[in-house]
Structure 1
Amino acid sequence: MAKRVIVVEDNELNLKLFCDLLRAHDFAVEPVRDGREAVERARAFAPDLVVMDIQMPHVTGYELLVQFKADPALRHIPVMAVTAYAGREDEERLRAAGADAYVSKPITLARFIAAINSLL
């Protein structure tokens, strides 16, 4: 059975790239364009992994990460933070909030898939 990955990304091109890449590697993918829907959609989809952009409108990836890790039904799911802001303090803050991996944009395809596989 294919591993299930939910991708939370507001940028349409990045969302398509991440989802297409994951599908090409035989993952079942659930795209989420609006972070405000992420927790509910994750509960319904029951993913094995969450790939989450950090800089989004309405709700940040950091805020979502805190919500995921506070939710008993979701806290066990690994979260990979993906962001264009790759400062050391950003990574430390996200890891302290519960991110299991941190990948900076622009991504390299090999590094992205390697990070996904290491979490699953």
Structure 2
Amino acid sequence: MTTKVLIVEDDLLNRMFYEAVFQQRGYQLMAVDDGAQVIDAVASFAPDLITMDIHLPHVSGRKLIRQIMRNPQTAHIPILAITAYAGKQDEADIRRAGARGYLAKPLSIERLLEEVDDLLAASAAVPLEASVHH
């Protein structure tokens, strides 16, 4: 089964970078550049992983992460927050919102793929029923 990754990134160059890296892995991709599109994209695409920029037009990445995590239908999807907000408190706030992974920009291809691999492996190890909050 092909891994599906939803890329949430408003910067065109960053989005193209993630798309190129993930296409080399053979992942099926959907990319959105506006926070207002994210919830619909999650519902229609049903991704295995979401990469989420935190600073987005219309809705903050933190708010979107909280929304996704509160929905029993989507709470199991691991979210990798990728952001220029690189302080310790920023990371703590983003993880508290529900992101399972966190990377500060700029980032390397190796670090990105390492984090994606870790999140996908951890997600595959958790049965769906156990990850959904009742």
Q: State the TM-score, normalized to the length of structure 2.
A: 0.87
Q: Report the CA distance between 1:72 and its aligned residue.
A: 1.5
1:9 is the counterpart of 2:9:
yes
Match runs of 1:14-25 below 5 Å: 14-25=14-25
Aligned residue in 2 for 1:94: 94
1:84 is the counterpart of 2:78:
no
Contact 2:49 2:78 in 1 (8 A): yes
In 2, Cα distance between equivalents of 1:25 and 1:104: 22
1:39 is the counterpart of 2:39:
yes
Aligned residue in 1 for 2:64: 64
1:119 is the counterpart of 2:119:
yes
Aligned residue in 2 for 1:110: 110
Q: Report the CA distance between 1:71 and its aligned residue.
A: 1.3
In 2, Cα distance between equivalents of 1:2 and 1:98: 25
Q: What is the alpha-carbon root mean square deviation over aligned residues?
A: 0.7
SS at 1:85 equivalent:
coil
Structure 2 unpaired stretches of 5+: 121-134
Q: Percent identity?
A: 38
Q: Report the CA distance between 1:97 and its aligned residue.
A: 1.2
Structure 1 unpaired stretches of 5+: none
What letter corresponds to residue 108 of structure 1 in structure 2? S
Q: State the TM-score, normalized to the length of structure 1.
A: 0.97
SS at 1:58 equivalent:
coil
4+ residue segments displaced more than 4 Å:
none
